Amino acid sequence: MVGEQSERWQRTVGALLALEEVPHPDPPEGLAATLRPYQLDGYRWLSFLWEHEIGGIFADDMGLGKTVQTLAAAERAREQGLLTPERPMLVVAPTSVVGTWAREAARFTPYLQVAAVTETVRRAGRPLAETTAGAHLVVASYTLLRIDEEHLTDRVWSAVVLDETQAVKNHQSRTYQAARRLSAPVKLAVTGTPLENSLMDLWSLLSLGAPGLFPSPREFTQQWRRPIESGADPELLGTLRRRIRPLMLRRTKDAVATDLPPKIEQVLRVPLNASHRRIYDTHLQRERQRILGLLDDVDRNRIAILAALTRLRQLALDVHLVVPDARRARGRARSTPWWSSWSRWWRRATGAWCSASSPASSRWSGSGWTPRASATSTSTGAPGIGRAGSRSSPTETTRCS
């Protein structure tokens, strides 16, 4: 599989040597959005890759509109006849984002027929082809990719988009292997964090989008990862950047969206009621003493420390998440009502279009969860771009645009 994909990819790249000028297509007529200048550049880059059957990594910062740029390229492919219901585009995303892709496609590309696959073939009781009949865009989760791998890999797709690629960064995982076996001339990794743990994260994404660039993980480790990560050859990092530059597009918000206002965060404190506070303080003292005894060896006790912080976070949300028999033990131990923080937030946010991730009763401070009841309102992005507030994240925030 690796040899076949690498050979095909190198043939495609070789054909680009005869290209004299990079085209600059206008946005497709079926796109119901006005692209900003940097989004227009991203759309043209994606269209270029699609037309020449080359994959890559689309790594713009979160909130810059990677979804609308990808959908614009898909709409152009539909208008050119490259994207048809017989050979649709497959989007693989986290379960929490599958519905968002369907909604964004209906909003920005109404001519694209979308099928969100939320059930396995066995549970649905019908073949995958029947579930996705007539669709230009098929959206499935990484979980479904693992379970229904044989059904998804048997089909030839016009393109495959891997969104939020944390699930495929480990090239030894089953999810990565299933994504590698998907049959499509174009594979795109869409992520705001292409490199998190080591350079092997980058290799995994490149092996999916550009399988002929660095075919062997062993050779990549010896030639690139070890010298760069150890600092033995500092100049090698610049060489690697130049080599992957045509196949990876990354823009930061500060660089391309300078007209956007800075993020504004407001913390609205909601005090716990008396019984909730009493139970929380009891557990807080207990966990504090236990964690202080584990700090002598943080590396060995890391999991235990994180578990204790998680319990405190859950306890700040609802006592029954940690103490199931709290009502019986305390008589009437009630948690602070969730609508208390929600109503305070709503009074602040009325008048703006907002999408709430969840009512907050704890706050992410950057170094960990601060277990207190609060509601946070965050303003980022600009109208009509990005997917503000649509993704699950550790921040209990509300993103408004």
8 Å CB contact between 294 and 237: no
User: Are residues 192 and 340 part of one domain?
Assistant: no
Residue 85: Cβ-neighbour burial (10 angstroms; 0-12, 13-18, 19+): middle
Q: Which of 263, 275, 280, 265 is nearest to 345 (CA)?
A: 265
Q: How far apart are CA 202 and CA 114, in angstroms?
A: 30
pLDDT recorded at residue 92: 93
Sign of CA dihedral 87, 98, 191, 310: negative
Domain span at residue 352 reads 264-400
User: Are residues 271 and 174 part of one domain?
Assistant: no
User: Are residues 274 and 243 part of one domain?
Assistant: no
Q: How far apart are CA 139 and CA 160, in angstroms?
A: 10
User: Are residues 209 and 152 part of one domain?
Assistant: yes
Q: What percent of the chain has pLDDT over 90?
A: 18
pLDDT recorded at residue 6: 60
What mean pLDDT do residues 93-102 have? 90
Structure-block tokens of residue 319: 């006592």
By DSSP bridging, strand 354-356 and strand 397-400 are: antiparallel
Q: Which of 136, 150, 153, 143 is nearest to 118 (CA)?
A: 143
What mean pLDDT do residues 158-186 have? 89
Residue 292 has pLDDT above 80, yes or no: yes
Structure-block tokens of residue 135: 């669709």
DSSP class of residue 248 equals E
Q: 64: domain CATH number?
A: 3.40.50.10810
What mean pLDDT do residues 41-47 have? 91
What is the radius of gyration, based on Cα positions, of the chain? 24
Which residue has 């600059």 as its token pair?
24
What mean pLDDT do residues 23-44 have? 88
pLDDT recorded at residue 361: 39
pLDDT recorded at residue 348: 61
Lowest mean pLDDT among 144-158, 167-181, 346-360: 346-360
8 Å CB contact between 300 and 328: no
pLDDT recorded at residue 124: 85
Residues in the chain: 401
Q: What percent of the chain has pLDDT over 70?
A: 74
End-to-end CA distance of the chain: 44
pLDDT recorded at residue 96: 87
What mean pLDDT do residues 307-314 have? 88
Question: Considering the entire predicted model, what is its pTM?
Answer: 0.65
The string of pLDDT tens digits covering residues 332-390 is 455 555 555 556 666 665 544 443 333 333 333 333 434 444 444 444 444 344 443 33
Of residues 275 and 16, more confidence is placed in: 275
Q: How far apart are CA 46 and CA 67, in angstroms?
A: 12
DSSP class of residue 222 equals I
User: Are residues 283 and 251 part of one domain?
Assistant: no
Q: Which of 193, 226, 256 is the last residue of a domain?
A: 256
Of residues 173 and 263, more confidence is placed in: 173
Of residues 338 and 154, more confidence is placed in: 154
User: Are residues 268 and 240 part of one domain?
Assistant: no
Q: How far apart are CA 321 and CA 314, in angstroms?
A: 6
User: Are residues 36 and 15 part of one domain?
Assistant: yes
What mean pLDDT do residues 320-324 have? 78
User: Are residues 212 and 299 part of one domain?
Assistant: no
Q: Which of 209, 230, 256 is the last residue of a domain?
A: 256
Distance of CA 313 to the CA centre of its chain: 24
Return the biggest CA–CA distance within the chain.
Answer: 79
Q: Which of 256, 279, 311 is the last residue of a domain?
A: 256
User: Are residues 202 and 103 part of one domain?
Assistant: yes
pLDDT recorded at residue 194: 81
What mean pLDDT do residues 153-173 have? 89
Q: How far apart are CA 201 and CA 224, in angstroms?
A: 13
Count up the domains in the chain and report the number.
2
User: Are residues 170 and 113 part of one domain?
Assistant: yes
User: Are residues 370 and 396 part of one domain?
Assistant: yes
> How much is the mean pLDDT over the chain?
77
User: Are residues 135 and 73 part of one domain?
Assistant: yes
389 contacts: CB under 8 Å, gap ≥ 6: 354, 355, 356, 357, 397, 398, 399, 400, 401
Q: Cα torsion at 360, 364, 370, 371 (round to 10°)?
A: 30
Structure-block tokens of residue 382: 């600009």
Q: How far apart are CA 373 and CA 251, in angstroms?
A: 35
Residue 17 has pLDDT above 80, yes or no: no
pLDDT recorded at residue 334: 56
